[in-house]
Structure 1
């Protein structure tokens, strides 16, 4: 039987979860105040902008850690606000293609400076160059290890009884 986490593992786990929660809380406050966006909506817009404006819903789901139904709901809100469009994918009739609109890009550009400011102040300010490099290496290794699991979009859907 598993004995649980060692004290140093538990301390590291709690520190990571608390830091991530605090950062996400402050980022979410900034995004709501400056753009009326949730963190997930910001992630969707930012990923679309980074991908030259278009991704399939599956690609978005794989990149954003969020449930399929939640992602569909958030995409619906963004579409209703005129920040994205959704339509059929020309290469795959089963896929839905999501495209960021000019209004979506403009909103992203408006909230981005505040997002960068909050991130710098809370995450990067206490770190020196070596700390930043080490943290980046560690987190990339952890993320890559976690990403060896099948993406959330590949998980079978649970049937309701």
Structure 2
């Protein structure tokens, strides 16, 4: 009989489940707001937000590196945003292999429309129960966790897995 890896102790499992439940509840509230006020998903909001913060343009690779989403899913979401007239996609002048994504005026207007409600949901659901010290500690903890998780190359730089036939 082989030794099995150690499990999580009660404090670790409690912290893990609390984090996952809080993230799930926050995602649900944010998603409901974005669907109701803008007709977009959270992933689409993330794409518009990242484009708005980057002065309107990023490559698909840059978007993929910043958004936790599969390549095919990101391409699909970008296609929906393009079809809705919220972004455009084209070849980069600097690198013909890169696809440049640009937020349109309509995309920026929609982002600005849903942003105040998004902020309100985040404040009400996440920030309201936290003291300034709690917020500082949470930011520090989650930054360390995120940086640890992102210590590997970004998914957009990882080789694609080939299907076995």
For the criterion TM > 0.5, the same-fold answer is yes
Deviation of the 1:11 alpha carbon: 0.7
> Residue 54 in 1 paired to residue 54 in 2?
no
- For the aligned residue pairs, the C-alpha RMSD in angstroms reads 0.8
Unpaired runs of at least 5, structure 1: none
Q: Partners of 2:160 and 2:147 in 1: how far apart?
A: 24
Regions of 4+ moved over 3 Å:
none
Deviations, residues 87-109 of structure 1 (Å, cap 9, x unaligned)? 00111111100000000000000
Give the 5 Å matches for 1:1-161. Answer: 1-160=4-163, 161=165
Q: Partners of 2:153 and 2:45 in 1: how far apart?
A: 24
Q: How many residues align?
A: 161
Higher radius of gyration, 1 or 2: 2
Deviations, residues 32-89 of structure 1 (Å, cap 9, x unaligned)? 0000000000000000000110000000001000000000000000000000000001
